[in-house]
């Protein structure tokens, strides 16, 4: 992906626009799977959101994913991206009671750096296409201004 979705340095120290309670109003993940810790920016007209994940020593993956040198698994980065996409997509789709906007797939995922406990990962998602019950999003993530992840997330209403 050649176009950068945002300047991550602008959001490195930004306060939360929506805390986790507001995130929980739109997406169902809870407990150790509540990986989107907040939203820093949301522009409904531009169909873009910027979220944050604070990696901690107590995260479920730390103990077992490379003991002695914990690295966030790529699948966790994808899950965080999917949660931000679901949160963003919930503004563009009408949801009936009991429906959610969930993960439908990932394309062109690339991992460009590592995320370790203590890192603040900034994630940007932009809704590119919306057809009926399917949305396609471009996503990128950074730690300390360096890109660590990018990919295309497909979301499905079910």
Tell me the domains of the chain and their CATH numbers: 8-157 (3.10.129.10)
Residue 107 has pLDDT above 80, yes or no: yes
- Check whether 1 has a pLDDT greater than 90: no
Backbone angles phi, psi at 120, to 5 degrees: -105, 110
- When pLDDT is averaged across residues 101-120 and rounded to a whole number, the result is 97
Residue 53 annotated among the catalytic residues of the structure: no
What is the pTM assigned to this prediction?
0.96
Task: Annotate 128-141 with b (16+ C-beta within 10 A) or e (fewer).
Answer: eeeeeebbbbbbbb
C-alpha distances in angstroms, 155 versus 28, 60, 104, 137?
A: 14, 25, 5, 8
* Three-class secondary structure of residue 74 per DSSP: helix
Q: Sorting pLDDT into bands at 50, 70 and 90, what band is 93?
A: confident
pLDDT averaged over every residue in the chain: 95
């Amino acid at each position: 992906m050649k176009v950068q979705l945002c300047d991550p340095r602008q959001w490195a120290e930004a306060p939360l626009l929506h805390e986790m309670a507001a995130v929980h109003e739109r997406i169902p993940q809870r407990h150790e799977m509540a990986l989107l810790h907040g939203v820093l920016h949301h522009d409904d007209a531009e169909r873009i959101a910027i979220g944050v994940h604070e990696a901690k020593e107590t995260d479920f993956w730390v103990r077992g994913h490379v003991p002695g040198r914990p690295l966030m698994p790529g699948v966790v980065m994808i899950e965080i991206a999917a949660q931000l996409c679901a949160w963003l997509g919930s503004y563009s789709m009408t949801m009936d009671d009991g429906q959610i906007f969930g993960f439908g797939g990932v394309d062109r995922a690339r991992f460009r750096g590592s995320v370790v406990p203590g890192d603040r990962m900034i994630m940007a998602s932009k809704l590119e296409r919306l057809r009926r019950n399917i949305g396609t999003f471009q996503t990128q993530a950074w730690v300390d201004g360096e890109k660590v992840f990018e990919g295309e997330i497909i979301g499905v209403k079910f």
